[in-house]
């Protein structure tokens, strides 16, 4: 199957065993988008390490046969232990999704002490901790894919989202630089924008939004990119998205 940018992707989603033998680690796996990706990758034959700070939520994934791991992604030592656990349990690390996140709905002047900092720690440093732990493993095995969940919110000035916007913008910059730093190896670092999705992060039900499983094809695409595929790019709905481009019509509408 040819991708929109002319590369050949792996087999279409849904083929039995399409990802057999591959290990996929997903943070933020206990609910929402991460949970949907766990279901998708398991159905496609991957071995999945489902990681989250929510142990009860992870326990609900047990019937799928995943390898659960309780982790606070803001803690570098815990993230390193997560990656070590994945390799110890499965023998390899093919794809890492730095997807853990939490809600933010505070003004800069009114935020409780530490709220902004905690948000940055989970989103940005969770991503950095994941990449820093995964890259040596991927270099050692000769290949790997890293996917960091970001947001179009980084491009616009929506009130009460300062920490979220700042974290996602910083993740965009760090991901692009990291992609260049590992360009000497078959390690591709890309970003995924889920789009407005019906998850608990909103603090209320949003039935008008897309279901989390709608985002899985893009996740699968980025996890299975062939050698020489795009790196340091942003993808949304299985296509490259022109983040921070002044001529980006979607960003203009969002603002």
Question: The domain that contains 216 carries what CATH number?
Answer: 3.40.50.720
Note whether 148 and 169 are within 8 A (CB): no
Residue-level pLDDT at 9? 40
Does 38 fall in a domain?
Answer: yes
Q: How many residues does the chain have?
A: 255
Residue-level pLDDT at 211? 78
Residue-level pLDDT at 14? 41
From the list 150, 147, 171, 133, the residue with the least C-alpha distance to 37 is 147
From the list 210, 209, 236, the residue with the least C-alpha distance to 221 is 236
Question: Residues in the chain with pLDDT < 70?
Answer: 1-18, 196-206, 208-210, 246-255
Does 15 fall in a domain?
Answer: no
Number of domains in the chain: 1
Percent helix, strand, coil in the chain, to 5, is 40, 15, 40
Does 149 fall in a domain?
Answer: yes
Cα 13 from Cα 168, distance rounded (Å): 28
Does 2 fall in a domain?
Answer: no
Residue-level pLDDT at 103? 85
Does 196 fall in a domain?
Answer: yes
Does 71 fall in a domain?
Answer: yes
Cα 166 from Cα 154, distance rounded (Å): 6
Q: What is the four-CA torsion angle of 23, 28, 31, 33, rounded to 10 degrees? A: -80
**Residue range 5-48, pLDDT digits in tens:** 334 343 444 444 569 999 999 999 999 999 999 999 999 999 99
Q: Which residues are annotated as catalytic?
A: 164
In sequence order, which residues have a C-beta less than 8 Å from that of residue 36 and are 6 or more positions away?
Answer: 211, 212, 213, 215, 216
Does 161 fall in a domain?
Answer: yes
Q: Taking the model in full, what pTM does it have?
A: 0.88
Does 139 fall in a domain?
Answer: yes
Domain that holds residue 164: 23-254
Residue-level pLDDT at 212? 81
Cα 6 from Cα 2, distance rounded (Å): 6
Beta bridge partners of 98: 148
């Amino acid at each position: 199957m040819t991708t929109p940018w002319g590369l050949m992707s792996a087999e279409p989603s849904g083929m039995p065993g399409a990802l057999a033998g591959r290990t996929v680690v997903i943070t933020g796996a206990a609910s929402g988008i991460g949970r949907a990706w766990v279901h998708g990758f398991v159905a496609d034959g991957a071995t999945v390490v489902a990681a989250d700070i929510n142990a009860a939520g992870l326990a609900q994934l047990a019937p799928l046969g995943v390898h659960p791991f309780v982790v606070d992604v803001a803690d570098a030592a815990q993230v390193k232990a997560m990656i070590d656990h994945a390799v110890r349990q499965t023998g390899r690390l093919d794809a890492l999704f730095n997807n853990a996140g939490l809600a933010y709905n505070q003004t800069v002047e009114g935020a409780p002490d530490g709220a902004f900092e905690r948000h940055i720690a989970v989103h940005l440093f969770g991503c950095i901790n994941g990449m820093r732990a995964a890259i040596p493993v991927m270099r050692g095995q000769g290949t790997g894919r890293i996917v960091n969940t970001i947001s179009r919110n980084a491009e616009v000035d929506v009130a009460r989202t300062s920490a979220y916007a700042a974290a996602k913008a910083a993740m965009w910059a760090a991901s692009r630089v990291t992609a260049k730093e590992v360009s000497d190896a078959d390690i591709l670092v890309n970003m995924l924008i889920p789009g407005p999705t019906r998850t608990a992060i909103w603090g209320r039900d949003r039935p008008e939004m897309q279901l989390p499983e709608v985002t899985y094809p893009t996740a699968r695409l980025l996890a299975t990119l062939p050698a020489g595929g795009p790196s340091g790019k942003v993808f949304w709905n299985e296509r490259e998205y022109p983040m921070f481009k002044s001529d980006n019509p979607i960003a203009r509408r969002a603002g």
